[in-house]
Amino acid sequence: MNPSGQQIEITLGHQVAVITEVGATLRHYEHDGVAVLEGFGAEELPDDCRNQVCFPWVNRVATGEWSFAGRTARVGADNVVQATMNHGLARWRPFTVEEVGPHHCTMSLVLHPVPDYPYLTRFAVSYELGAWGLRVRSTVENLDDVEVPFSLGFHPYFAVTTPGLEGSWLQIPAQRYVEVDERLLPTGATPAVEATPLDFRESRVVDGSVLDVTYTDLVRDASGMFTATLRDAHGYEVQVSQDEAYPYFQAFSGDTLSPARRRTALALEPMTAPANALRTGRGRIALAPGATWSGVWGARRSA
């Protein structure tokens, strides 16, 4: 058995995507034989949160206790140095395959209360291929009898056709970024990107830019979609879009990864909130009993 469980392949024309049972992870996505994602093998575990789903919190939350709706969470640590728990709980859980078609699949997870997160929720995610590329719809349902807090994000690493990111151009039309401390937890400040090295409102090369930053105050089109664009030195371009359910966007250039993975892809991450949202409340979503939340993001490759 593969460590990530069942492998679900969906195709449309020259697009191929593979989603795993464990974590409902987008393990592979290619278009015209060109990798859109830097994925991992069926026999491997995803390293560095590679293309995983981050639920019921995104990015990281500080260890220790926090309370909401009369319940207290007691958060452990998988990053002992920074005393944080990173990328939620769902990414290592087996999902139920609800529906599979030629071009789409839907998977779900009932997340039962645990000390780190004492709430009952159902999370479902649908991957669909179309003329627009890949579309990902997520739904969160409160199965509990109290209000449930959460944040959600995805951690896809987008591939380039060159040996590394150097020579690539990046555009992130965002007005502000989230300032963080030495533990990579938000300070509460959201400075303007103008006149800083983090300003990618106009497309420019990423050479020398070390990115591990959350953007906000996103610039959207008339339909409410925000779109970031990565174009490599060979002219291959990927566009990552997200609807208004995702007010935050993370860019991570991988400078802290192992040498083999360092700056070989760019993580462009749709997020509903910045780090530590379950504690601070900034960006935190609170669902009433029986209520449902949904959001959509997508990616497409062009040359």
Give tens-digit pLDDT for 100-149.
999 999 999 999 999 999 999 999 999 999 999 999 999 999 999 999 99
Q: Is residue 92 part of a domain?
A: yes
Domain range for 108 is 7-302
Q: What percent of the chain has pLDDT over 90?
A: 99
Overall pTM surpassing 0.85 (yes/no)? yes
φ/ψ of 75, rounded to 5, equals -90, 130
User: Is residue 2 domain-resident?
Assistant: no
Total of domains in the chain: 1
Task: Determine, yes or no, domain membership for 297.
Answer: yes
Look at residue 140 and give its three-state secondary structure. Answer: strand
CATH number, domain with residue 115: 2.70.98.10
Q: Is 260 part of any domain?
A: yes
Location of structure tokens 């293309």:
51
Confidence of residue 303 (pLDDT cuts 50, 70, 90): low
pLDDT of residue 302: 84
SS3 167: coil
Distance CA(196)–CA(301), nearest Å, equals 29
Q: Is residue 1 part of a domain?
A: no
In a domain, 101, yes or no: yes
